[in-house]
């Protein structure tokens, strides 16, 4: 007779949009996982969340939630600048943590989280769900098999012509640290760096621009008008990044910009290159250039759900983090360097 698996009990800190759109659907779709507690500084928001998902335990202070003995894990779904507090508290209380991207609002806070995970010997997984897309998993296999040879350059693109969030706290530095760089740029840059094998960044230069977000004469996007009066983050950013082993990358990311088709993200290697959208692999074979169009396996579930399932599986199997905090911290160190470079106009070393 097959032994029944222990139910992994989870608490959610932050009852906002990402908890509803990504984390909760993932846990509901994961066998043997159950969300039993929720915390939000807005008690009414926590109560609505609890009622919607039939959660019995409601808190307004994360320190009270993480002390629940029955909890095995915590999902941290707070604004960027408030990732570190609940994550460190949960790890110190012996809980595993799935924290939304980016790892934190600053690399200093991210380092605290990584250190706490090492000390507690618990999983710290960061919510970089694009690694779990079927196309990403397939490309990783191609690259690890040596199909690209020596990788030397990547271009990461995450561009919206008009897509400034009109909800929550995304457009305020005190809550989120930055704009598209840390919101959507983080996904595409992380994906490119992960596909390349996570080379160590050693320096970055770039510029974060605010050209449209604080203007009332700009046309709104599909999400309507944002909080123009309190907008103080960038709306476009560009970066040039140097890694060890003479690898370089560029990043272009925007919430709002006047542009048409700027082209896709891609990676170049000595034996081949890949284009992300539409997915294409370029190589030389038998003295001729060839273009290969891989048939991507059908995505059977949302990448966010795959992310949550990987988290629960790692807990059960006492396995390493599917998206280690150290790798996400390296991306945040790059962003810190870009913001510093915006002020100094110079390349910033990353140690």
| 173 and 307 assigned to the same domain | no
| 139 and 233 assigned to the same domain | yes
The whole-number pLDDT of residue 167 equals 87
Tens of pLDDT, residues 55-72: 999 999 999 999 999 999
SS3 25: helix
| 175 and 269 assigned to the same domain | yes
Q: Is residue 1 part of a domain?
A: no
Interstrand relation of 96-100 and 124-127 (parallel, antiparallel or unpaired): parallel
Dihedral class, residue 287 (left if φ above 0, else alpha if ψ from -120 to 50, else beta): left
Tens of pLDDT, residues 261-283: 999 999 999 999 999 999 999 99
Domain that holds residue 289: 131-300+332-349
Question: Is residue 1 scored above 60 in pLDDT?
Answer: no
Cis peptide before 245 (omega within 30 of 0): no
| 219 and 206 assigned to the same domain | yes
| 231 and 89 assigned to the same domain | no
The whole-number pLDDT of residue 5 equals 80
Tens of pLDDT, residues 34-58: 999 999 999 999 999 999 999 999 9
Dihedral class, residue 32 (left if φ above 0, else alpha if ψ from -120 to 50, else beta): left
CATH number, domain of 150, equals 3.30.360.10
In sequence order, the 6+-apart residues with CB closer than 8 A to the CB of 308 are 22, 23, 26, 27, 29, 30, 33, 98
CATH number, domain of 30, equals 3.40.50.720
- Global pTM exceeds 0.85: yes
| 204 and 287 assigned to the same domain | yes
Tens of pLDDT, residues 298-328: 988 999 999 999 999 999 999 999 999 999 9
Mean pLDDT of the chain: 97
Number of domains the chain is built from: 2
Using a pLDDT cut of 70, give the percent of the chain over it: 99
| 102 and 228 assigned to the same domain | no
Question: Is residue 86 scored above 80 in pLDDT?
Answer: yes
Question: Is residue 294 scored above 80 in pLDDT?
Answer: yes
Q: How far apart are CA 67 and CA 82, in angstroms?
A: 18
Q: How far apart are CA 317 and CA 79, in angstroms?
A: 30
| 107 and 170 assigned to the same domain | no
């Amino acid at each position: 007779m097959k032994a029944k698996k222990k139910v992994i009990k989870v608490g959610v800190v932050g009852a906002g949009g990402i908890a509803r759109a990504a984390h909760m659907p993932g846990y509901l779709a994961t066998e043997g996982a159950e969300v039993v507690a929720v915390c939000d500084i807005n008690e009414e928001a926590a109560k609505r969340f609890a009622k919607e998902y039939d959660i019995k335990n409601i808190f307004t202070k994360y320190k009270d939630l993480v002390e629940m003995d029955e909890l095995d894990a915590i999902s941290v779904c707070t604004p960027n600048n408030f990732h570190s507090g609940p994550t460190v508290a949960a790890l110190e209380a012996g809980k595993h943590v799935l924290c939304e991207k980016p790892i934190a609002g600053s690399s200093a806070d991210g380092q605290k989280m990584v250190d706490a995970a090492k000390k507690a010997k618990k999983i710290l997984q960061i919510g970089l769900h694009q690694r779990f897309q079927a196309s990403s998993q397939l490309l990783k296999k191609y690259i690890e098999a040596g199909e690209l040879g020596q990788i030397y350059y990547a271009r990461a693109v995450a561009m919206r012509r008009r897509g400034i969030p009109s909800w929550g706290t995304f457009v305020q530095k005190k809550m989120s640290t930055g704009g598209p760089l840390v919101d959507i740029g983080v996904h595409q840059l992380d994906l490119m760096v992960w596909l390349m094998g996570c080379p160590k960044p050693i320096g970055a230069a770039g510029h974060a621009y605010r050209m449209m977000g604080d203007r009332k004469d700009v046309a709104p996007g599909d999400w309507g008008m944002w909080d123009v009066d309190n907008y103080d983050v960038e709306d476009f950013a560009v970066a040039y990044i140097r890694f060890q082993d003479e690898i370089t990358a560029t990043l272009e990311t925007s919430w709002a910009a006047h542009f048409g088709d700027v082209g896709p993200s891609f990676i170049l290697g000595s034996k081949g290159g890949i284009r992300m959208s539409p997915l294409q692999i370029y190589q030389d074979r038998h003295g001729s250039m060839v273009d290969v169009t891989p048939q991507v396996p059908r995505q059977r579930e949302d990448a966010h759900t795959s992310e949550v399932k990987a988290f629960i599986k790692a807990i059960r199997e006492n396995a390493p983090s599917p998206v280690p905090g150290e790798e996400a911290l390296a991306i945040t160190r790059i962003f810190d360097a870009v913001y510093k470079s915006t002020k100094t106009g110079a390349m910033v070393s990353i140690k």
